[in-house]
Amino acid sequence: MKKIVFFDIDGTLLDHEKNLPASTKKALQLLKDNGVFVAIATGRAPFMFTGLREELEIDSFVSFNGQFVVFENEIIYENTLNEKELEKLFQQAKTNEHPLVFMNDKTMKSSVRHHTYIEESLGSLNFTHPDEDARFYVNRKMYQSLLFCKEQEEQKYAVDYPNFNFIRWHPYSVDILPKGGSKAEGIKKMIERLGFELKDVYAFGDGMNDLEMLKAVGTGVAMGNGVEEAKAHADLVTSDVSDDGIWNGLKELKLI
């Protein structure tokens, strides 16, 4: 029976220093050798993990938390932010002095020339501050945006923009996604394409944006370093990412 495993990136494939543990790379190669299909499911944009895909030889992924799904280098699903709503949000955020970053599958642009919240948030992923282009979202497909504000400040936006989902991933940054969009939805699109049964679908994750995914798949695995909510939604909790978490989890599942 064919099986598929989806892996989150930050805190799951990559450790706390954004390095790929040797045991993880070895485990994924063993998975493939065993005939298991391997895919990525991340909040990152495709351009943010090109090197990792190449290193691991993975060409199927769910990106932007489910809004942009690629199977063997072919786009099979897209879900974009409504441009009129994004324009309205942009104007409101500007008034509140909350900068935004707009993202498509190729690049990202900032609504301001420089802001420390942007620098710090994206710096935690080893990315530099994007160039300024406040109108980048006009007449382009935007799969995700980032709102930069302190904790709790996004709640007013969540009330004002019911067609968007707001998911915090950093003390200064929040993902803005189309309503109902999630890694779980993206995974459903891919397994429909592949004809897999849900019981043969596995996922590893650690963050708040992994909750739906861990619940939706046949077997959800939370990393030992994961948030408590992820552990509560998982069928299995493995060790910390830096303590061979992927290797140990796959071993326990008897997939390697």
Residue among 176, 125, 180, 165 at smallest CA distance from 9 = 125
Q: How far, in Å, CA of 194 to CA of 219, rounded?
A: 18
Q: φ and ψ at 75, to 5 degrees?
A: -70, 125
- Whose tokens are 């990792």? That residue is 52
Rounded to an integer, what distance in angstroms lies between the CA atom of residue 146 and that of residue 118? 9
In this structure, what token pair is assigned to residue 25?
């790379």
Q: Where are the alpha helices (DSSP H) in the chain?
A: 22-33, 50-56, 83-95, 116-123, 155-160, 183-194, 211-216, 228-233, 245-252
Spot the catalytic one: 8, 10, 105, 175.
Answer: 8
Q: Is 206 a catalytic site residue?
A: no
What are the residue ranges of helices labelled H in 106-182?
116-123, 155-160
Catalytic amino acids? 8
